[in-house]
Amino acid sequence: MDNKTSSFSAIMAVYEQASQLEANLPVFLTNTYESGYEVIVVDESSTDETDDVLKLLKQDHPNLYSTFIPKPNPHITRRKLALSLGIKAAKNEWVIITSIENAPAYEEWLKELSGVIDSTTEAVAGYYLKKGLRLQTFEDTDQTRSLVVKAERKRRKISKRRFLKYLCGRYDFIAVRRDKAYDVLSFFEQDASALKLARLKLGVFFHQCFS
């Protein structure tokens, strides 16, 4: 692995999740990593107290940034558009695409993530365990296609299903080099027939078993 530590921008899209932001965002913002880290929250035009929660947290956390989607775009899903805006705003060399439901399991997660990255790494999928973190590295973002298509097709539906999540490819975050982030984002929320989805599930399962 390279000795140089990486800098990260964690990006998440939220909608009507003020209570989860209040509970989990401080966990994202409080860590022991000092090599460059920011959190970008993109609000999908929430009508709850999301804006108030973000304003309050910004007072104590200068590395927290936020923006919003002013209105729906009929040609692109709202979450995908939100993440696209977050990637555009990111200042660091790596972006971490995650969700507010998946708060980091412990403070050392960024240090551990940086430790598996070298000059050949283009993406890393992360899985929070009861104790620690499991990381899966990829040398080409195209290698993440099946994993991402399956995981992101119905992200909100599967986010709470934890059993055997590594074998099923249900990552808690995916980190990508910023210049490759839009390549991975293109795999998000793709339509898939029942047959294609079944093949994806089997393909991901067997890959995870033997990788």
Provide mean pLDDT across the span 125-131: 85
Region of 99 please: left (phi>0), alpha (psi -120 to 50) or beta: beta
- The answer, yes or no, to whether residue 196 has pLDDT greater than 60, is no
Residues spanned by the domain of 16: 8-210
Residue 3 within any structural domain of the chain? no
Whether 2 maps to a domain, the answer reads no
Which CATH number goes with the domain that contains 132? 3.90.550.10
Mean pLDDT of 20-49: 91
The whole-number pLDDT of residue 70 equals 79
Per residue in 64-117, pLDDT (tens digit) is 999 998 766 555 568 888 999 999 999 999 999 999 998 998 888 999 999 999
Query: For residue 64, is it left (φ>0), alpha (ψ between -120 and 50) or beta?
Result: beta
> Does residue 106 fall inside a structural domain?
yes
Residue 1 lies in a domain: no
Q: Give Cα separations from 148 to 8, 169, 197 (angstroms).
A: 20, 8, 12
Give the closest residue to 93 by CA, choosing from 116, 71, 117. Answer: 117
Residue 62 has pLDDT above 90, yes or no: yes
Q: Give the pLDDT band (50/70/90) at residue 130.
A: confident
Q: How does 153-169 read in b/e, with b if 16+ C-beta sit within 10 Å?
A: beeeebbeeeeebeebb
Q: Is residue 25 part of a domain?
A: yes
Higher pLDDT, 113 or 151: 113
| pLDDT score of 171 | 87
H or E stretch at 86: helix 78-89
As a whole-number percent, the residues of the chain with pLDDT over 70 amount to 75
Number of domains in the chain: 1
- Residue 38 confidence (pLDDT) above 60: yes
